[in-house]
Amino acid sequence: MKPGKSTSTIFNVAVLVASLGYFVDIYDLLLFTIVRVPSLKDLGVPQSEIDTGVGLLLINIQMLGLLLGGIFWGIVGDKKGRLKVLFGSILLYSVANIANGFVTGTTGYLFWRFVAGLGLAGELGAGITLVAEILPKEKRGYGTMIVATVGVSGAVAANLIAKLVPDWRYCYFIGGGLGLALLFLRISVMESHIFNQTAESKTPGRGQFFALFNNKERFVKYLKCILLGTPTWFVVGILVAFSNKFAIEMGVKSPIDPGNAVAFCYAGLVLGDFSSGYLSQLLKSRKQVMLIFLGLTAACVALYLNLFAAEEWLFYTVCCVLGFSVGFWAIFVTIAAESFGTNLRATVATTVPNFARGMLLLITMGFKGLQHYVSYLQSGVIMGVICIAIAIVAAYTVEETFGKDLNYVEKI
């Protein structure tokens, strides 16, 4: 691929690099979820502190890193280029991963999870933005589909490696090593020609994060993009993460392991991301596919919350189907990238998925708050209805971006 030129094939180095980068990104995020408890036990943290004190602080400090990193890398992506983010972010979280394997206390663990969050925040948005800008508008949905599908499969790999490798430290070393290996592959990737044109013409407003908030129309469009992702994190962060508790409440016949539930859910997500991306290309629409999958999500959530006295195999099967139903991450991030001009595109595409992840904090607060008034299951039902309804309204009113020419800038 020559500098400054687009490519007509979806199987190119940029798509491969973005896909593998997101693979390592998701590997690390899920690996942390899997090894958080055993790693804290190994570091001598009391059981009472693992789920509430230090354990909860670790989760929150990583989320803070993701939110701040999303803003930082988004601005860098629009000011300095998409490739700068792809190199900088993977270097940062690869080093942080390796450092995680050497920690001897909770202070170091907290620091390096924050650094890892900062690095992980830039990977998906920069990759999707680059792929969207170098591929022809009729084919870019295939490119982002590949990125999301390959990337989400990193969760399956993390679960497998965590089971095969006896020491949690080695799991972190593997993730860091994979990231550093990818740095060499990225040397052959060229910058987006659309970004180069914008940089050469010194287009004003590149990477101005607050420009997303000082214009009502632009802010509403930005908010809709974020809200599209709330059902995914409700499903993954509430229904699947606390699947053992939901199973007890519904009288499932065998104890449920949340780690296995997450693995089944992400296996479904891989298939869902591929299917939603492919269906979007067939229907030539992002909106229609979002609405179809949100309808499927509503049906699957209703099914999940009615698994009374179910067999263990059925429960895990529904977790997989549930994961499939929220496998619209490729469409969700693609809509965000396609909805804004080149001078704000990386900022939006990088912050939107991280802010959608951050919505889990509000969802969790609402879920726990409702339990003061209604049962555990009813709290899940109410939060599910709220998250899915909000996303449906956002999907119905958001702009159709399939086939949209991305060679334009926002007026700031």
Domain ranges of the chain: 10-189, 208-402
Q: How far apart are the two ends of the chain, measured CA to CA in Å? A: 32
Query: Any alpha helices (H) in 187-328, and if so which ranges?
Result: 193-200, 216-227, 230-234, 243-250, 258-283, 287-304, 312-325
Confidence class of residue 33 from pLDDT cuts 50, 70 and 90? Answer: confident
3-class secondary-structure state, position 401: coil
Asked, colleague to colleague, whether 10-189 and 208-402 share their fold, the answer is yes
pLDDT beyond 80 at 130: yes
Say which residue the tokens 């010194």 belong to: 202
> φ, ψ for residue 8 (rounded to 5)?
-95, -10
Q: What is the pLDDT of residue 45?
A: 85
**10 Å Cβ neighbour count for 369?**
11
Cβ atoms of 336 and 142 within 8 Å: the answer is no
pLDDT (mean) for 21-49: 87
Q: What is the pLDDT of residue 115?
A: 95
Burial class (CB in 10 A: 0-12, 13-18, 19+), 349: buried
208-402 in CATH: which number?
A: 1.20.1250.20
Q: What is the pLDDT of residue 51?
A: 63
Q: Encoding tokens for residue 231?
A: 């059902």
Q: What is the pLDDT of residue 166?
A: 84
Contacts of 101 by beta carbon, 8 Å cutoff, 6+ apart:
169, 170, 171, 172, 173, 176
pLDDT (mean) for 391-397: 96
Q: Of 186, 22, 187, nearest to 120 (Cα)?
A: 22
Q: What is the pLDDT of residue 2?
A: 42
Cβ atoms of 85 and 73 within 8 Å: the answer is yes
Q: What is the pLDDT of residue 8?
A: 55
Q: What is the pLDDT of residue 4?
A: 44
Q: What is the pLDDT of residue 304?
A: 97
pLDDT beyond 50 at 3: no
What is the C-alpha to C-alpha distance for residues 302 and 385, in angstroms, rounded to an integer? 10
Q: Encoding tokens for residue 379?
A: 């709290």
In 92-155, DSSP assigns E strands to none
Q: Of 189, 181, 71, 168, nearest to 121 (Cα)?
A: 71
What is the C-alpha to C-alpha distance for residues 114 and 103, in angstroms, rounded to an integer? 13
What is the C-alpha to C-alpha distance for residues 152 and 100, in angstroms, rounded to an integer? 22
Q: Please name the amino acid found at residue 411.
A: K
Say which residue the tokens 């496998």 belong to: 327
The H-or-E segment that residue 134 falls in is helix 123-134
Q: Encoding tokens for residue 221?
A: 């469009």
10-189 in CATH: which number?
A: 1.20.1250.20
Lowest mean pLDDT among 48-57, 286-295, 303-312, 344-353: 48-57
Average pLDDT, the chain: 89
Q: Of 334, 337, 20, 10, nearest to 153 (Cα)?
A: 20
User: In percent, how much of the chain has pLDDT > 90?
Assistant: 57
pLDDT (mean) for 152-164: 88
Cβ atoms of 350 and 79 within 8 Å: the answer is no
**10 Å Cβ neighbour count for 353?**
24
> φ, ψ for residue 228 (rounded to 5)?
-60, -25
CA-based diameter of the chain, in Å?
A: 65
Contacts of 174 by beta carbon, 8 Å cutoff, 6+ apart:
161, 165
Q: Please name the amino acid found at residue 187.
A: I
Model pLDDT for residues 249-261, shown as the tens digit of each residue? 999 999 888 878 9
The model carries a pTM of 0.88
Model pLDDT for residues 190-223, shown as the tens digit of each residue? 888 888 888 888 787 888 999 999 999 999 999 9
**10 Å Cβ neighbour count for 160?**
11
> φ, ψ for residue 206 (rounded to 5)?
-65, 125
3-class secondary-structure state, position 307: coil
